[in-house]
Structure 1
Amino acid sequence: MAEHPAYPVGLRLTGRRVVVIGGGQVAQRRLPALIAAGADVLLVSPEATPSVEAMADAGEITWERRVYTLGDLADAWYALIATGDPDANAAASAEAERRRVWCVRSDNADAATAWTPATGHSEGVTVAVLTTDAKGRDPRHTAAIRDAVVEGLRDGTLVAPHHRTRTAGVALVGGGPGDPDLITVRGRRLLAEADVVIADRLGPRDLLAELPPHVEVIDAAKIPYGRYMAQEAINNALIEHARQGKSVVRLKGGDPYVFGRGMEELQALAEAGIACTVVPGISSSISVPGAAGIPVTHRGVAHEFTVVSGHVAPDDERSLVDWPSLAKLTGTLVVLMGVDKIGKIAETLIAHGKPAGTPVALVQEGTTASQRRVDATLETVAETVRTQEVRPPAVIVIGEVVTVGPRTSA
C-alpha cells in the first residue's frame, strides 16, 4: 500500500453513519467538518473536551460515554479512530478492515485505510491537499500548500476565471480606510473577478494597479454631468455596464453604508432589476483612530462612541445632527468629513456644555503611507487645523480616549 499514492475522493456523508472513537483534540478538530457534511455522527469515548461536549449537548452528535467495544463500527460508512490507547486503536482499525469501512487513524497513518487531507474552502470550492509520497508525508508542508491556494483564491491573487456563463450584476464593495491590506477577503476576490470597476477617490487605489489589463476602471470622481448629477451618473454607469452582461464592482472607501450612499445605489439597481451584492468594509470611523493609537472605547473612559457626518455645519438648515445632545455625552465623538467645518462644530459643542479643554485628534489619510496625526483641544482645534494645514480626508476624534494610548504619529 505504501508504494502507491492515495486515491483522492470526496465522501458524501449526508445522513450516513460515521463513528468517531476518542473525544480529544483530534476529534475536536475533525468533528465540525463531519457535522457540516451532514453525517450522522456517533462519538464513543468515556471523556471529551469541552468543545466536543458542547457539540453533543447541542444535539449535533450522539455521544456514548464509554470505551470502544467490538461491534461499534457496525453499519458505519466512515470511521475516525483517535484515542490515546494504542490497543483500542488497533482493535477498532482491525474491525474497520473486516467490515470494509474506510478508517482514519490519528496515531498511525500507515496502518489506516484513509487519510484526512488538509482542507480549506473558498466560495463553494473545497481545496483538499494530500501528500502523494506515503514515505515522505509532511503534514505541515501539505497544510502550507492548502493555505497558499485558499488564500490566493480568497484574496484574488490566484485567479480562477469562471468558464460557465456568469450572472451579470453589481457588487458594492467597501474597500476599507485606504490601506489595500484592509479590504475584506471577499471584496478583494470580487475585485479580481470584475470586468468593470467604478472606483471612489477614497477607495484603496493601490489595488487598481493589480487588475488585469482587460478590466475597465472608471473614476467615479470624474463621471460627467457636474457635481449635482454625479450620483445619478454613477447609478446610470452601474446599470449600463451590468446590462451589458458584465461583472461590475463599485469600489467605495470605508463601508458602503457609512456615509457612502451605498443604499442609494442599491435602490437604483433594484429599480432597474439588477442583481446586487453588498460587501461590508472596515469603516474609517474605527480603523483610522485605531491606526493612530486611539481606541474609540476604553474601560473607565468611554463606554460609547458616536459617529457623525460633519459635511454641513451645525447651523446649516440641512444638518440632521443633534449637536446639543452630543455635547452632553461623555463618550467618544468621531466626526467624518468635518475638517473644514471643525471650527463651527467645536464652537457649538462648547456652547452646549462640552469642556473647551476636551482633547481632539485629527488623523489625516489614516492607514496610508501619508498618515499624520495632529492633536488639539476643542478650544484650539480650528486654529490648529489652519496652522498645521490639515486637509481632507481626515478623521476627527473628540474625547478623553485621545489621551489614553501611547502618542503615535506617522
Structure 2
Amino acid sequence: MAEHPAYPVGLRLSGRRVVVLGGGQVAQRRLPALIAAGADIVLVSPEATPSVEAMADTGEITWQRRPYAEGDLAEAWYALIATSDPRANAQASAEAERHRVWCVRSDDADQATAWTPATGHSEGVTVAVLTTDARGRDPRHTAAIRDAVVEGLRDGTLVAPHHRTRTAGVALVGGGPGDPDLITVRGRRLLAEADVVIADRLGPRDLLAELPPHVEVIDAAKIPYGRYMAQEAINNALVEHARQGKAVVRLKGGDPFVFGRGMEEVQALAEAGIPCTVVPGISSSISVPGAAGIPVTHRGVAHEFTVVSGHVAPDDERSLVDWPSLARLTGTLVILMGVDKIGKIAETLVAHGKSPETPVALVQEGTTAAQRRVDATLATVAETVRAEDVKPPAVIVVGAVVGVGPHPTA
C-alpha cells in the first residue's frame, strides 16, 4: 500500500456517523471541520480538553466518557483514532479494517486507511493538499503549499477565471486608509475578479496597477458635472456596467459607510434592482492616528472617541455637528475632511469650554509613504496648518491621547 499514492476524495459526511477516539489536541484541531461537515460525531474518551468538552456541552458532539471498546466503530462511516494508548489505537484500527471504515490514525499514518490533507478555504473553494509519496511525507511542506494557494486565492494574486455566467452585481469595497496592504482579504479578492473598477482618489491607488489589462478603471474623481452630479454619475455608471453582466467593484477609501456616501450608492443600486455586496474597510479615523502612534483611547486618558466630519464650518447652516456638546466631552475628537476649516473649528471648541492648550495632531497622507504628522494645540493649530502647509487628506486628532505615545517626528 505504501508504494501507491493516496486517492484524493471529498467525503460527504452530513448526518453520517463519525467516531473520534481520544479527546486531546488532535481531536481539538480536527473536530471543527467534522462539525462543519454536518457529521453525527461520537467522541469516545475518558478525558477531553476544555475546548472539546465545550463542543460536547453545546451539543455539537456526543461524548461517551470512557476508553475505546470493541464495537465502537460499528455503523461508522469514518473514524479518527487519536488516543494516547498505542494498543487501543491498533485494536481500533483493526476493527475499522474489518468493518471497512475509513480510518485516520494520528500515531501511525502508515497503518491508516485514510490521511487527512492540509486544508484551507476561500469563498466556497476548499483546497486540500496531500503528499503523493508516502515515503517522503513532510507535513510542514504540505501545509506551506496549502497556505500559499489559499493566500493567493484570498489576496487575488492567484486568480482562476469563472467559466459559468456570474450574477450581475456590484461590490462596494472599503479600500482602507491608503496603504494597499490594509485592504481586507475579501476586498482584494473581489478587486482581482472585477471587470470594471470605479475608484475614488482616496482609495489604495497602488492596487490598480496590479489589475489585468482587460479591466476597465473609471476614475470617480474625474466624472463631470460637479460634486452632486458626480455622485449621480457614479450611481449611473455602477448600474450601467452591472446591467451589462460585468463584475463591478466600487473601490472607496476607508470604509464605505464612514463619510463615504456608500449608502447613497446602495440605495441607487437597490432602486435599479442590482444586487450589492458591501465589504467593510479599515476606517482612517482609527487607522491613521494609530499609524502615527496615537491611540484614540487609552486607559486613564480617554474612555471615548468621537468621529465627525469637518467639511463644513461650525457656523455653516448645513452643519449637523453639535460642536458645543463636543467641546464639553473629555474624550478624543477625530475630525475628517477638516483641514481647511480647522481654524474655525478650534475657535468654536475653545469658545464652548475646551482648553486652548488641548493637544492637536494632524496626520497627512496617513499609512502611505508620504505620511507626516504635525502637532499643535487648539490655540496654534490654524497658524500651524498654514506654516506647515498641511494639505488634505489629513486626519485631525484632538485630545490628551496626542501626547501619550513617543515624541512625534515629522
Distance 2:297 2:71 in 1: 58
C-alpha displacement of 1:228: 3.2
Distance 2:9 2:60 in 1: 25
* Identity between Structure 1 and Structure 2 (%): 90
Q: Which residue does 1:95 correspond to in 2? A: 95
Distance 1:403 1:62 in 2: 55
Distance 2:88 2:286 in 1: 54
State the secondary structure of the residue aligned to 1:73: coil
- Asked if the contact 1:314–1:345 (Cα under 8 Å) also holds between the matched residues in 2, the reply is yes
State the secondary structure of the residue aligned to 2:373: strand
In structure 1, the gaps of 5 or more residues are none
State the secondary structure of the residue aligned to 1:113: coil
Distance 2:86 2:301 in 1: 56
C-alpha displacement of 1:36: 0.2
- Asked if the contact 1:371–1:409 (Cα under 8 Å) also holds between the matched residues in 2, the reply is no
Shift in alpha-carbon separation, 1:409–1:190, aligned structure 2, 3 A: farther
- Asked if the contact 1:293–1:407 (Cα under 8 Å) also holds between the matched residues in 2, the reply is no
- 1:56-84 per-position Cα deviation (integer Å, ceiling 9, x unaligned): 11110011111111111111110001111
- 1:290-333 per-position Cα deviation (integer Å, ceiling 9, x unaligned): 11111111111111111000000111100000111111111111
Shift in alpha-carbon separation, 1:158–1:409, aligned structure 2, 3 A: farther
C-alpha displacement of 1:224: 1.7
Shift in alpha-carbon separation, 1:24–1:390, aligned structure 2, 3 A: same
C-alpha displacement of 1:227: 3.0
Distance 1:301 1:36 in 2: 44
Distance 2:88 2:402 in 1: 61
The alignment's C-alpha RMSD in Å is 0.8
C-alpha displacement of 1:5: 0.3
Shift in alpha-carbon separation, 1:90–1:158, aligned structure 2, 3 A: same
- Report whether the alignment pairs 1:258 with 2:270: no
State the secondary structure of the residue aligned to 2:53: helix
Distance 1:261 1:409 in 2: 34
* Greater CA drift, 399-408 or 54-63: 399-408
State the secondary structure of the residue aligned to 2:20: strand
C-alpha displacement of 1:407: 3.0
C-alpha displacement of 1:355: 1.1
C-alpha displacement of 1:356: 1.1
Distance 2:224 2:161 in 1: 32
Pairing 1:174-213 to 2, within 5 Å after superposition:
174-213=174-213
Distance 1:227 1:40 in 2: 58
C-alpha displacement of 1:213: 0.2
- 1:86-106 per-position Cα deviation (integer Å, ceiling 9, x unaligned): 111111111111111101011
Distance 1:161 1:223 in 2: 30
Distance 1:22 1:402 in 2: 53
- 1:243-264 per-position Cα deviation (integer Å, ceiling 9, x unaligned): 1111110000000000000000
Distance 1:297 1:50 in 2: 34
List, as ranges, runs of 4+ consecutive aligned residues in structure 1 with deviation greater than 6 Å: none
In structure 2, the gaps of 5 or more residues are none
Distance 2:403 2:85 in 1: 57
- Asked if the contact 1:35–1:60 (Cα under 8 Å) also holds between the matched residues in 2, the reply is yes
Distance 2:408 2:126 in 1: 43
Distance 2:34 2:300 in 1: 44
- Asked if the contact 1:35–1:41 (Cα under 8 Å) also holds between the matched residues in 2, the reply is yes
- Asked if the contact 1:346–1:381 (Cα under 8 Å) also holds between the matched residues in 2, the reply is yes
Give the paired residue count: 410
- 1:369-408 per-position Cα deviation (integer Å, ceiling 9, x unaligned): 0000111111111111111111000000111111111234
State the secondary structure of the residue aligned to 2:341: helix
* Greater CA drift, 246-255 or 222-231: 222-231
State the secondary structure of the residue aligned to 1:38: coil
Distance 1:124 1:398 in 2: 44
Distance 1:328 1:364 in 2: 27
Q: What is the TM-score normalised by the length of structure 2?
A: 0.99
Pairing 1:381-392 to 2, within 5 Å after superposition:
381-392=381-392
Distance 1:222 1:312 in 2: 22
State the secondary structure of the residue aligned to 2:172: strand
Q: Which residue does 2:358 correspond to in 1? A: 358
Distance 2:145 2:277 in 1: 30
State the secondary structure of the residue aligned to 2:269: helix
State the secondary structure of the residue aligned to 2:408: coil
Q: What is the TM-score normalised by the length of structure 1?
A: 0.99
Distance 1:228 1:127 in 2: 46
C-alpha displacement of 1:281: 0.4
Distance 2:302 2:374 in 1: 21
Shift in alpha-carbon separation, 1:64–1:334, aligned structure 2, 3 A: same
- Asked if the contact 1:174–1:251 (Cα under 8 Å) also holds between the matched residues in 2, the reply is yes
State the secondary structure of the residue aligned to 1:368: coil
State the secondary structure of the residue aligned to 2:48: coil
C-alpha displacement of 1:283: 0.3
- Report whether the alignment pairs 1:168 with 2:155: no
Distance 1:3 1:49 in 2: 37
Distance 2:12 2:130 in 1: 18
- Asked if the contact 1:292–1:409 (Cα under 8 Å) also holds between the matched residues in 2, the reply is no
- 1:328-359 per-position Cα deviation (integer Å, ceiling 9, x unaligned): 11111100000011111111111111111111
- Asked if the contact 1:17–1:40 (Cα under 8 Å) also holds between the matched residues in 2, the reply is yes
- Asked if the contact 1:197–1:249 (Cα under 8 Å) also holds between the matched residues in 2, the reply is yes
* Greater CA drift, 205-214 or 342-351: 342-351
C-alpha displacement of 1:240: 1.0
State the secondary structure of the residue aligned to 1:256: coil
C-alpha displacement of 1:409: 4.1
Distance 2:32 2:276 in 1: 31
- Asked if the contact 1:13–1:38 (Cα under 8 Å) also holds between the matched residues in 2, the reply is yes
